[in-house]
Amino acid sequence: MKIDLSKHLTLGARRTLKAFRVAMFELLSEKEFDKITVNDICEACEYPRATFYNYFDDKLDLLEYLWSHIAKNILNQLPNDEKNDDNLIKIFNLLVNFFHDNPALLANIKKNDGANSHLWHNLSGYLKHEANQLLYHSYSDSKEQNVPVELLARFYSDLVIGMLEWCLFENPTIDEKTADNYLINLLHNNF
């Protein structure tokens, strides 16, 4: 991104970012990412191309910003004080609920090669990275681990995103309680 999100943003900048974010999200619910153009994005949010390029390098840059916004909103719903399996279940459930709340996005991902699509790999990779960071910080002060914290965080984030992918693409009719039980069994090696 061409602007620093860690600094104070004007009201106009926040509105502009939101307009581009919403436009990209809506377009992703309708078209393959590869077929979305900067012109499509600008037309959808009624901003000129010059404004787009004042904020973003390209549409992939906007996509990364969109994923960061979604991940931040999802992960900000987690309690800060939990460092156990319940937090992993909550992360999983929040991710599942995001897709249930946004069926058009999920339908478009499924229509365009599902778990093998570029869009899914981009989104799941971003979510995995964010979950990994969150879990790393969650477990970094714990002395009870028999493996390095980096490996533990990676294992758990891979497990949560793998379970999400399995539920969304291979078993979309699975109920939340059953999915949670599968995840708990995987966490505790109860095969």
**79-99: per-residue pLDDT in tens?**
765 556 788 899 999 999 999
The mean-pLDDT minimum among 72-76, 93-97, 165-169 falls in 72-76
Same domain, 88 and 22: no
Could you give the CA distance from residue 31 to residue 111 in angstroms, rounded to a whole number?
10
Query: What's 30's DSSP letter?
Result: T
* Domain that residue 42 falls in: 11-58
- Identify whether 63 is part of a domain: no
Same domain, 53 and 140: no
Cα 44 to its chain centre, rounded Å, is 22
- Identify whether 67 is part of a domain: no
The pLDDT-based confidence of 101 (bands split at 50, 70, 90) is very high
**120-131: per-residue pLDDT in tens?**
999 999 999 988
Same domain, 34 and 108: no
DSSP letter string, 129-175: HHHHHHHHHHHTT-S--SS-HHHHHHHHHHHHHHHHHIIIII-TT--
Mean pLDDT for the chain overall: 90
pLDDT of residue 11: 97
Decide: 97 and 176 in contact? Cβ < 8 Å.
no
Same domain, 96 and 45: no
pLDDT of residue 75: 81
